[in-house]
Structure 1
Amino acid sequence: MKRFVFLFICLAYAISAQVESSEDVNISKFEPVFYTDFVQYKTADDTTKIRLDVFFQVPYANIQFVKRGDAFYAEYNLSVVFYEAKTDKVIFERIWKERISTTDFDETISRKNFNMSYKSFPLEAGNYKIKCILEDTDSRKTHSYTYNVSVKKFNSDLAVSGILLVKDIMKNEKGDVIVPNVSRIVTNKDTTLRFYYEIYSSDAADAEITYLLEHLDSESKIEEKRTISVNDGANIVYDSLSTLNFILGTYKLTMTVTDVNRNISAKTQKIVLSKITGLPNSITDIDKAIEQMIYIASPADLAYIKEGKTYEERLTRFLAFWDKKKPNPKMTVNPIMNEYYRRVEYANKNFKAFGNEGWRTDMGMIYITFGPPSYVERHPFDPNSKPYEIWDYYELNRSFVFVDQTGFGDYRLLNPDYSRWPGYRY
């Protein structure tokens, strides 16, 4: 019994920790380390298999470059592991190495420069779990993402491949070279959405193509139709939707092909992510982002932004508020906004409780308002005491005590003294 008490006391008083520090975190921490996309095609020589192309896009800023001579070099390994969806049994794995070089240092730290690669895999129809892994050769850091992918059979009479979003089409001596948009991200500055797909027909025919681009969080939608002639076999299609006005959020592009003569059709879909230029990737809903400004905006400022009658008006007022916070008006990146929403994202990941998002909790409020504490002292098992934590902010000469009254991780601020509230700390 004495031994048990000794261990219990050690646990109660030895648990103290440093909460993540802003100075140690890059804003890209909450952005993907690399992007992936999956597109299915019909195979010409094997009717029992479907070709799955796996695309990778790796920003230069997320890998380690080493200077040798007058150039900078980076290497990383990519792995793709296929599992049975139901059993998690490994079916097979493929590993390969990618090498990059540049003579421009600025490119090595840029998220706008990236390396693109892809591999093709013949698969049986079925449901798969696919794990994509990147290992940086120099830093030895590993990052991975897992996806559920359903591979479906193609109809023999009329079928359509998956959609590949296109960033650019370049020409060389071999013909057209597609630069895919692997991230599937567009911005409010884009007015055209370009894409590539293939139509498979067992007979030559006139086909009606219907494109439907829907914003999933609003009633915004665009539909276009056109008629084309398709040949027997595989038909390559480059197409686009123009004069678009993207708003923040998620879109779904649905393409339907109908054989007018045989009255049969097939369709495919693609998710498109729309961002606002200059906004952190964590912002996916402008109205929620406005709500989350409660810790930095005055009630009057917040009311003014919310009173915008249209999406465009609220967005304009939102951006104008943050523009005033820029340390330098000429800066294209707003470090104050990036840091604020980085804190919001961190709070959501670490302080949610009782169904409340992390930014709405007391811990989230303090973290977003003042940033990471200088020191955290945790007391989860003290005898005759509710679990509590003490956050010390040495520069502010303040401490905040949070108590979990319920025992379910819902830590509430004890005796908040708003009269001494110093306001948002940059």
Structure 2
Amino acid sequence: MSDITRVRRQTLPSRIAAALAASVVVALVAACGGRTPVDRGASPTRSPGVPSALDVSRLYREVGLFVETTPVPFVGATHAFASQSPDTTLFLLTLSLPNRALTFVREGDHYRAGYDVIIDARRSGTSVRKEQGRQIVRVASYKETSRGDESLIFQQYIRLAPQDYVLNLTVRDVESGRTTVRDLNVTVPRGPGPGFSSAVPVYDAEPRLRRDTLPVLVPNARATAVFGQDSSLMVYVERYGGTGAVQAEVRDANGIQLWRDSVALPTNRGMSSGMITLPITRLGPGIDTFLAWGAGGSDTTRTRLVVSFGEGIAITSFDEMLSYLRYFALPDVLAPLRNAAPQDRGRAWLAFLRATDPDTTTPEHEGLRDYFIRIEQANLRYREEGGPGWLTDRGKVFVSLGDPDQIYEQGQGDIAQRGRVQIWEYTQYRTQLVFIDQSGFGRYRLTTTSEMEFQSLVRRVRPR
């Protein structure tokens, strides 16, 4: 863990000693005698079973996407479509990269970056099909080079025989040379018999009505929509053979049906294709499964989807988000979210974001970003038995106010000593908050006076 808080060994400052003298802490300090620095130890690690509110990679993997976080981070998926020959399948690889994954250089009045993608389909160690190319990215401002959202979308069609392959994927940042290599085990299905293509989350697509052409689509490689911001999520499907409308539905993680409809797709000579639009207000935040089938339900295509609260936030439950926000804003600011009917929660969430965003000129909500980063840090620093670190007394103070300017500790140097005292000093707020470990097990609790001071302080600093 980085050295964020500083610890002093010298005698407590007189103003802090005076503050302690007015409370029961003075007796404890007098009894403790010696002073020891706060035990920082080695960098802490996440406890097993404690999910991260910022680990979006976990969500992407859960819905079946492949994810790489270093050296060049990306999220990707594969899909299959019928071609004009039963011996060949159109195989689609899609990748999503943020701008900040690449190294940009100044080029005139803009900034340029590039990345290479090499796709090598191999069987028994032998390359049977290889595609490669270089993509050039240009942005108008330096701020855009650090965007962390889905800024870049890559797609490549490959014609492959229906077999099992190891897909060797290489993504290289041109300017820095940083390279990520990933092997994917894929099964290419046979076509174009009766049935469906892969169900592909998309931003846009044109119906394909001939098997000798390529699908024209803009893939949503992360299979994600943002609650309150996006009104719908689109899925592209192709149907080969069969007649009549396509049945489609969305089910949540518990198998409960959230939405269902009958969709007539454009058709030509036994082939149908098009986008199916899913209303976000009916889905709500969560990880869901989309299914589509024809008459009789024997042929089915499916894909999993994520409706998130925003870029970089791995929370998919409205109630869970409300719980996390307890230290972010005052109760009257959160009340419209708590009181919103399910169909109105999207609008309430969007209004909340607009009201609390410290910089509306950027696509990211910096306030929420920093808040959840502090939660992550609190879970690592202040965890105790029976609960996550951000819900402990020291955790809630850290999440609400950030790092103290100074931490002072009074005790005898024995980590099992009861009655140890920590004083957190916030110069900006001219405040010292006192924690006591009465148990000797590191379970620090705010004194009554400091709890009252903390509550008074957060009423001034939290978003109103």
TM over 0.5, shorter chain: yes
User: How far apart are the structure 2 equivalents of 1:127 and 1:364?
Assistant: 48
User: How far apart are the structure 2 equivalents of 1:161 and 1:272?
Assistant: 17
Instruction: Name 2:258's counterpart in structure 1.
Output: 220
Q: 1:361 to 1:143 in 2, by over 3 A?
A: farther
Instruction: Name 1:34's counterpart in structure 2.
Output: 74
User: How far apart are the structure 2 equivalents of 1:78 and 1:412?
Assistant: 51
Question: After alignment, is 153-162 or 394-403 more displaced?
Answer: 394-403
Instruction: Tell me how far 1:162 sits from its aligned partner.
Output: 0.8
Aligned counterparts, 1:179-218, within 5 A: 179-187=218-226, 188-201=228-241, 205-216=242-253
Deviation digits for residues 73-107 of structure 1, max 9, x if unmatched? Answer: 212344679999xxxx9998989563324262265
Does residue 265 of structure 1 match 2:305?
A: no
Instruction: Name 1:423's counterpart in structure 2.
Output: 458
Deviation digits for residues 224-281 of structure 1, max 9, x if unmatched? Answer: 244876757xx351232376635333332101123xxxx67211112222245x7763
Aligned counterparts, 1:124-139, within 5 A: 134-139=171-176
Contact 1:54–1:118 (8 Å) recurs in 2? yes
| Paired amino acid for 2:140 | D
Q: 1:332 to 1:313 in 2, by over 3 A?
A: same
Bigger radius of gyration among the two: 2
User: How far apart are the structure 2 equivalents of 1:236 and 1:156?
Assistant: 12
Instruction: Tell me how far 1:68 sits from its aligned partner.
Output: 3.1
Out of 320, 338, 341, the position equivalent to 1:310 is: 341
| Paired amino acid for 1:38 | T
Q: 1:207 to 1:323 in 2, by over 3 A?
A: closer
User: How far apart are the structure 1 equivalents of 2:445 and 2:415?
Assistant: 14
Out of 352, 356, 370, the position equivalent to 1:339 is: 370
Instruction: Name 1:241's counterpart in structure 2.
Output: 277
User: How far apart are the structure 1 equivalents of 2:445 and 2:194?
Assistant: 66
User: How far apart are the structure 2 equivalents of 1:161 and 1:63?
Assistant: 33
Q: 1:158 to 1:319 in 2, by over 3 A?
A: closer
Instruction: Tell me how far 1:55 sits from its aligned partner.
Output: 0.5
Does residue 285 of structure 1 match 2:321?
A: no
Q: 1:114 to 1:406 in 2, by over 3 A?
A: same
| Paired amino acid for 1:115 | L
Question: After alignment, is 386-395 or 278-287 more displaced?
Answer: 386-395
Instruction: Tell me how far 1:293 sits from its aligned partner.
Output: 2.2
Contact 1:158–1:265 (8 Å) recurs in 2? no
Query: Higher relative contact order at CA 8 Å, sep ≥6: structure 1 or structure 2?
Result: 2
Identical columns (%):
15
Q: 1:147 to 1:338 in 2, by over 3 A?
A: farther
User: How far apart are the structure 2 equivalents of 1:237 and 1:79?
Assistant: 30
Instruction: Name 2:326's counterpart in structure 1.
Output: 294
Instruction: Name 1:371's counterpart in structure 2.
Output: 402
TM-score (norm: length of structure 1):
0.65
Q: 1:211 to 1:328 in 2, by over 3 A?
A: closer
Out of 134, 152, 164, the position equivalent to 2:200 is: 164
Deviation digits for residues 92-130 of structure 1, max 9, x if unmatched? Answer: 8989563324262265345678332234564866698x8
Name stretches of at least 5 consecutive residues in structure 1 with no aligned partner.
Answer: 1-11, 20-26
Q: 1:95 to 1:297 in 2, by over 3 A?
A: same
User: How far apart are the structure 2 equivalents of 1:140 and 1:394?
Assistant: 44
Contact 1:160–1:267 (8 Å) recurs in 2? yes
Does residue 54 of structure 1 match 2:81?
A: no
TM-score (norm: length of structure 2):
0.61
Question: After alignment, is 105-114 or 158-167 more displaced?
Answer: 105-114
User: How far apart are the structure 1 equivalents of 2:135 and 2:216?
Assistant: 21
Instruction: Name 1:178's counterpart in structure 2.
Output: 217
Contact 1:170–1:179 (8 Å) recurs in 2? no
Paired residue secondary structure (1:245): helix
Q: 1:99 to 1:80 in 2, by over 3 A?
A: closer
User: How far apart are the structure 2 equivalents of 1:415 and 1:207?
Assistant: 67
Aligned counterparts, 1:107-118, within 5 A: 107-110=144-147, 114-118=151-155
